[in-house]
Amino acid sequence: MSSIIFRSQVLWAQIDANMHMRHSAYADLGAQARLMAMEKIGFTSETMRQYKIGPILFREELIYRREIRPNEIISVTSPLSNCRRDGSRWSIKHEILKEDGEVAAIIHADGAWIDQIKRKLTALPSELMEKMALMEMTEDFHWDEVPVS
């Protein structure tokens, strides 16, 4: 199992009419976990601002396994599941765990980096790619080759 990126208590604002965590709250947890995973390796929001890049998502798939109810304590993991060798595309597999360790949900997120000035997808500068390579990885992690244009 991957290392926990963060723990949180489920807030009332994250609950829907069925008295369990609303669907969009899961995506919010994934987004926060991705940011915290990047911060953990020194790839901070300030770094992104300095390099004028930001993460974007192509796909976010949520698989619900167990209900999460008000006030439960949950944990989120964020290992990298694949990445292009230039860092331009990546995938992360989050697990949202209940307090007893049971998997409540899995989030598969596929993303890339955007150059905030050119508004185009971009590869990472080598010094940021070195940081990205420090992220925790899934057991079945694989590097993807950069397509030749």
Phi, psi of 94 (to 5 degrees): -90, 145
Summarize the confidence of residues 121-125 as an average pLDDT: 97
> What topology does CATH give the domain 4-140?
Thiol Ester Dehydrase; Chain A (3.10.129)
The tokens for 53 are 């890049």
Q: What is the pLDDT of residues 39-86, one digit of tens each?
A: 999 999 999 999 999 999 999 999 999 999 999 999 999 999 999 999
The tens digit of pLDDT for each residue in 4-51 reads 889 999 999 999 999 999 999 999 999 999 999 999 999 999 999 999
The verdict on pTM exceeding 0.95 is: no
Domain ranges of the chain: 4-140
Token pair of 104, please? 């409540």
Q: Distance (Å, rounded) from C-alpha 37 to C-alpha 94?
A: 11
Is residue 111 very low, low, confident or very high in pLDDT (cuts 50, 70, 90)? very high
- Helices (H), ranges, the chain: 23-40, 45-51, 126-132
